[in-house]
Amino acid sequence: MSATLLDGNAVALAIRSEVRPAVDRLTARAGRPPGLALVLVGDDPASHLYVGSKLKSAGESGLFADVHRLPANASLDELLTLVDRLNQSPIHDGILVQSPLPAAMGPDAERRVFDAIAPDKDVDGFHPLNVGKLVQERATLVACTPSGVIELLDRSHIQIAGKRAVVIGRSDIVGKPMALLLLHRHATVTVCHSRTPDLPAVCREADILVAALGKPAFVTREFVKPGATVIDVGTTRVDDAQTIARLFAPGTKRRIAFEKRGALVLGDVHPEVEEVAGALTPVPGGVGPLTIALLLKNTLRAAEARLG
Ligand code: GUN
Q: Determine if ligand 1 sits within 6 Å of the CB of residue 97.
A: yes
Angle subtended at Cα 129 by Cα 127 and Cα 131, rounded to the nearest 5 degrees: 70
Q: In the CATH scheme, what is the code of domain 144-289?
A: 3.40.50.720
* pLDDT score for 11: 98
| C-alpha–C-alpha distance, residues 25 and 28, integer Å | 5
CATH 3.40.50.10860 domain range(s) in the chain:
31-118
In this predicted structure, the answer to whether residue 190 has a pLDDT above a threshold of 90 is: yes
Q: 25 by DSSP, 3-state: which?
A: helix
Contact 177, 212 (CB under 8 A): no
pTM: 0.97
pLDDT band at 265 (very low <50, low <70, confident <90, very high): very high
Which has the closest alpha carbon to 180: 165, 193, 194? Answer: 165
> For the segment 216-227, what is each residue's pLDDT rounded down to a tens digit?
999 999 999 999
Q: Does the annotation count 122 as an active-site position?
A: no
Helix or strand holding residue 279 (H, E):
strand 279-280
CATH 3.40.50.720 domain range(s) in the chain:
144-289
Q: Determine if ligand 1 sits within 6 Å of the CB of residue 144.
A: yes
**Are β-strands 264-266 and 236-238 bridged in parallel, bridged antiparallel, or unpaired?**
antiparallel
- Distance between alpha carbon 136 and the CA centroid of its chain, in Å? 21
pLDDT band at 300 (very low <50, low <70, confident <90, very high): very high
| C-alpha–C-alpha distance, residues 280 and 148, integer Å | 15
Instruction: State the CATH class of domain 31-118.
Output: alpha beta
User: What number does the ligand 1 atom closest to the CA of 47 have?
Assistant: 1
Amino acid at 43: D
* pLDDT score for 308: 79
Segment 112-133 shows an average pLDDT of 98
| C-alpha–C-alpha distance, residues 70 and 15, integer Å | 32
Segment 124-151 shows an average pLDDT of 98
Mutate to test the pocket of ligand 1, among 36, 54, 55, 99 (most ligand atoms within 8 A of CB): 99
DSSP string, 56-77: HHHHHTT-EEEEEEE-TT--HH
In this predicted structure, the answer to whether residue 290 has a pLDDT above a threshold of 90 is: yes
> pLDDT averaged over the chain?
97
In this predicted structure, the answer to whether residue 1 has a pLDDT above a threshold of 90 is: no
* pLDDT score for 175: 98
In this predicted structure, the answer to whether residue 117 has a pLDDT above a threshold of 90 is: yes
> For the segment 271-285, what is each residue's pLDDT rounded down to a tens digit?
999 999 999 999 999
Contact 38, 51 (CB under 8 A): yes
* pLDDT score for 188: 99
Residue nearest to atom 8 of ligand 1 (CA): 98
Q: Does the annotation count 159 as an active-site position?
A: no
- Distance between alpha carbon 42 and the CA centroid of its chain, in Å? 21
In this predicted structure, the answer to whether residue 305 has a pLDDT above a threshold of 90 is: yes
| C-alpha–C-alpha distance, residues 187 and 179, integer Å | 9
Segment 64-85 shows an average pLDDT of 98
* pLDDT score for 62: 98
pLDDT band at 37 (very low <50, low <70, confident <90, very high): very high
Task: Write down how long the chain is.
Answer: 308
